[in-house]
Structure 1
Amino acid sequence: MPTNPMHRSGPNRFRILGTLEFFDGQHWSAIGAPKQRALLAALLLSANQMVPADRLVAELWPNDVPDSAHGLLAGYVWRLRRALRNGDVLVTRAPGYRLNLPQGALDVHEYERLVAAGRASLAARDPAAATASFTAALALWRGAPLADVARTDVVMAEAARLDESRLAVLEARIGAEIELGRHEPLLPELKLMVSQYPLRERLHAHLMLTLYRCGQQAEALGAYHDLRRLLINELGIEPSKPLRELQQQILREDPQLLDATSGPRPDERPRVVISPRLLPPDPDAGFVVGGEAELSATAARLVGGGVCAVYGAAGTGKSTLARRAAHAVAERFPDGWLWLDLRASTTQPLSAREVSAEVLRAFGVSGDRAMVTAGGTVRWPDLTSGRRALAVLDDVADTDQVRPLLSPPPGCAVLLTGRGAIGALGSHRHVRLGRLSAAGSVLLLRRLLGDEQVDRDPAATSAVARLCEYLPLALQVAATRLVMRPEWTVTEFATRLADPRRRLDLLASGEQSVRESLLASVRLIERDHDTQARVAVHLLGALDLPVVDVHTVAALLGLSEHTAQPIAERLVDVGLIETISIDRYRVPDLVRLFARERHDAEVDAAAAVRRVIDHHVNLVHRQLAEPVAASLGWYRQELGTLRALVDRDDTDVLHKAVDQLRWTLSGTRARVA
């Protein structure tokens, strides 16, 4: 039997699977004051993370916030530190507080470790070990989770998740005991649980099989008909396919059902899946700006079922939008929520087979061969047929990585996020996420920094937003740096951020980094061994133009326009450059700064820039032969590029050509620079 480390001695252990209690090294104690209890619960649910004071205030006073809320909060924190008798466990971390919790110090950690061990034992076809692990996990429960804590939205969500997990583990433990042949002792418990949870199909499957193995065929069929009548009357649906198949096996007295030794193998057992609750927390709406139209569009598409994809450049907040949308529609999908990070932008993305394995594990059928194709991918329609489930697949590389999940059965929905659009979906199934507006960026900084900091120098705040290129990730990192360094002013930070040599260093804090986000895009290219796209990134940094067209990209790479355009589009797909029109692209400042850091000894950047200058000399000479009106329009559009390239041309050839064009155009009444 696995040991229970929650019973070991040691300071500052916590229990939430029941009333909230802490262990001070000698005794388990409760927190007497309701507000302090709520504070400790909020910190435990975000253990080892900085929790903003504003969020704690909203948690402690969900309705009417007193004017002195922050002062009261500070007092509660002080008293909680005294109660815990360990000043290192609860620390102040601007702009809030952090509860430092070692692994295993919370009963939920041990519970989840034991559950994982039990599921691993089931996958290894060791029901005895699985039963022991599941029993030990359930023994940690002392009642309803967080039973004595005020029922705020956060507490209710976590309590619901844990309750659902406990039921799933109970079902898994009973299933393992059935495999061990312990039929008759299970009957009283099963009948009680079915009466308490009449819509849980897996419990009914366990009851039917147990009754049949106890020689009660009529009662087993009666249990099925009771459930069918309830489902039709309450929900207007039939029992799931696995349950209907079990009923047919009982009707024909299938000998495989008779006992545990001659019964069905694990891959032939009735397939009754659990309902996972695996969404990350809903982002704090008070710190989210923009994307409301995209959020509404995404939620509407999910409610309608099928597949929807959110895509956009690095740092535009795709994962945040996906979390908001998933929580907005979660109630429409009562049979399960799955969030899976496919890690496309890391060095080790999940393969299609690994994605399928994670999905099967989440639904509790990881050992079920009937749910897997010959290629090792999940049979998604079979897994969720007759159910309403939502799967969010974050950071998707391409169609191949998720193809098995792109055809969910009616009633189910799949939400994808990625830097590029997923080609297998129709255009109406895509939602593109871009940068914030200038006003929206300042508003986000105001919410993150507070009115006083922003109002002290509005111009500097606008400058920070502009230097962050209105990119949500960059804005959040900038705000974090300012919050963590309260001695810095926005004015001083804006001055430093304006220095291109420092900008990417300043836009990094902890795990959040603009440089790392851009590097993730480069990894997508390198993983595909796309040498031309990799070289293009390096040369666009050396060229340092904010806007390029496909002709310029072709000259830069020394390729034909026909060859260069797919390379440019590949950079769009991975979120490094942005489309302006069919053959013009924006190269963000932050991307150019990043690209100039990436040295490639095999690439002659000077020669590439020279090709672009020569190309523009030819373009200027060509304009001298065009009608004045057409040349004037081209000149105005290309003026910024011409000025930048003239400064780079040490031969003065381009300068002379541009002067000649300006002299030609000066005879018009139009103003030319």
Structure 2
Amino acid sequence: MRFSILGETLARHDDGTVVPLGGPARRALLALLLASPGEVVSADRLAEEIAPGGAVSAHALQAQVSRLRATLGPAAIERAGAGYRAAVEPDDVDACRFERLAGEGRTALGEGDAARAVALLHEALGLWRGEPLADAAGSPSAQAAAARLQEGRLGAIEDRIEGELRLGRSRAALPGLRELVGRHPLRERLAGLLMRALCAEGGQAEALVVFEGTRRHLAEELGADPSAELAALHREMLSVDPTPSPVAPPAPLTSFVGRAGEVDEIAGLLRVARLVTLTGPGGVGKTRLSVEVAAVVAAAAEVCFVELAPVRDGADLPGVVLGALGLRESGLQPGGGGQTPTARLVTALSDRVLLLVLDNCEQVVDEAAALAARLLAACPRLRVLATSREPLAVIGESLRQVRPLDEAAAARLFSDRAEAVRRGAAADPDGVRRVCAALDHLPLAIELVAARLRTMDLRDLAGRLDDRLGMATARSHRTADERHRTLRSVVAWSWELLSASERRAAERFTVFAAGATVAAARQVCGCDGETLESLIDKSLLEFTGGRLRMLETVRAYGAERLEAAGEADAVRDAHARLVIALARTADPHLRRDEQLEWLDGLAAEHGNLLAAARWAARSAAWETLLELLASAATWLWIRGLPASVAPQAAALLDALGELPSAGLGEEYAACVLLAAAGPDGPGVWRRHRARAERALAAAWPGDRAGRHPALLLPWMMRSATDDDPRRAFVLVSSQADCPDPWVRALARYVSGFAALGEGDAAGAGRAFRAAVDGFRSVGDRWGRALALDALAALAGASGDRAAAVALTDEALALTEQLGALEDSADLLVNRGDHVAGDDVRAAGAAYARAAALARRAGSSTYLAAALRGLGDMARLAGDPAEAERLYTEALERTDPHWVRSAGNRVRTLAGLGRVAEARGDRATAEARYREAADAASAVLGDADRGSLRMLGLPAAVVDAVSAR
């Protein structure tokens, strides 16, 4: 018989049938005996536990025992002296079995066998059905036993989660862990497990928030500090680098044939040469060879694969490489310190061991060569592997010509691909060799032709090729140009074998520069799913990662056919309209809780956005371009990519001259902001700001919402650098009663700065808190991070460092989720500043992590701030030489014209003054203090002494500014 007390008290026969136990008194009696099977419990104690105060007599207790024995069998409960005991094996009681399994699971975990531990602990926890000893809940001894069991259950849950984390199941563990930490905020092991799980999923900043919350609960409720183990984990979290992974080489869909020796040779060459270029005609296998080489190199270095085939404008190249590295062109706050994408790349790669694969350089070969030369000169640990139809012609370039396969390898490739479409299709070796020779042993041509064996036999295929190509089977050596003509002929031949509907779909698909979903392809190509599947079967389309793609050689031919058919503009217009519709659908979601999922989906469409924008600008389809850029503006700002469309936005503004047709004022203002992100940003802003401001004010009168709410935030931030930024502040803060809750939250955020300007810190705090609540209510991480940062600055200024750190960590968690590395670096510097007075080690760790993130993000401005913080730490540690070196580098990297750099510039100059003063150089110290005072006056104006001290300035600087 089996017994259960982890929930309602139950007894079951061996066949599983439940034994009727009777009323509550009998259940309570049995539960008390089963809590310690085999142990004698005195009759007096049992009577008192069942009914305190003598309500149950000895005779009544004996009667209850007799009834239980009649039900369970006389051997189940024994009389022993003045008491009773449950004469059952411990393993027959679920509570005892739970404790045994949980103990074995913990032992397995300690021995490193996580899989066995998790299995045992799952079995143990599966025995629970409810509150233990529930039928004896009024008994003191039952309450003590239940508490012991509950503690054991929580420990088993922790052990099970520990095992799951060791098995790499952190994502599955996160929801339950978050709930457990919420219910047990003082349980440090749970907090540590949640921190580890978050870190494993890239949520380092959220892990820091968990630590801060646990630390605060411990201090407030127990007056204790975190344990040494949790504190050590916290220090480890501070040192973790959450840099996004670069784009990996595409996963091969087929086997690799015939070039193993070349892979080893090129990988070896990259160990001594920093630029290797694989040259050869289209279709010869350069891309696939580069992928295989990258897989070898990946064992010793990071690899970033950059596909350049869709890039038509060389000016876009640095931004494309930034995107492949997983980096943004600018932070959440527009301006970004004015760094160009190339400068950001230099900063990001300056100390990184990385192989950069630039695939298909031929259409932007000059720009690719210039960029490779610049990066290799500035980044000594970088190596570049390029593929191109012509050399880059850069000093130090090592060339390797990729030739067609030899006869045996070509035959193996053809047979492999033919067998994949139809068993026995390549059974004739002579026929295979004949076909491969006709195709000049070009891998792409072989793959295209082999796909045709699904519907024709080898002999017929060989005959048609001979007729189509007009070539004998025995051939002399061919030049690259001739081979390219061979490949073109094969693509043309494949095209001719398509049905009319398939040709039309393939030609129209060429407008997708970045591939497409099946639904998008069906819409623009005007075809059904079967047609697309047929094109996949014939190797004219690939389907991978949920998207359809076309090989660039095939796409180039199809694009020519589309132009010749006279359909190009109509299809490209349909493509642009599709992108507009997608952006408009996505726009509201980008300000809600689901913004991360939508941003991930939109990332795959960036190439299509650029292609549509270029076509609209080239075709003077200005109204289409206006709608396109405005609809995508939110997506571009959050991802830090406004500069990618700045040339098209600037061309649009030049073409329009004045405002566009009525009702498009908001779109015009969006294009002004986007164009201002380009190289001529200040000039664009001066020429168009006033007209755009009037249009924006008309679109947002305060009592109704416009069409593009997210436009207001970058507009306000851009205007903050003007001589009179108050107009933009008034425009946004006047939206306090707007029906859009996101806009209302933004209005609260801006009104907080207005309150600060009037010296009302309390009012500013209320406004910023209302903004945080408003952004949280709609799920927007972008605005909430900005508002939390403002609140943290207020808390730090008032001396509440603990609150400042907690708020900063919460903002960090959000910028990390958004992939905003530079903004995370900025917040980490703020964190270091908040804790520097209390914990020098934690401050140093925050500055060091900020510096690492800023370097990876390529942000020289944010790196300068981190270096200033590290300089402060070196100075406090008594190393003036190192402090001066760090301060000097920080000053060199600081942009004196960017408003967000001003405070850091003041602190850096003051730090240099302190170093000079410490070594007795009064003249240099005074000169540095005067520079700091001038910089502080420029940014703070008539600020009071308290505001100046917020910057951590020495008394000499405070006095100098205050005296002005």
TM-score range, shorter chain: 0.3 to 0.5
Provide the TM-score with structure 1 as the length reference: 0.36
The structure with the largest strand share of the pair is: 1
The structure with the largest helix share of the pair is: 2
Which of the two has higher C-alpha Rg? Answer: 2
Provide the TM-score with structure 2 as the length reference: 0.26
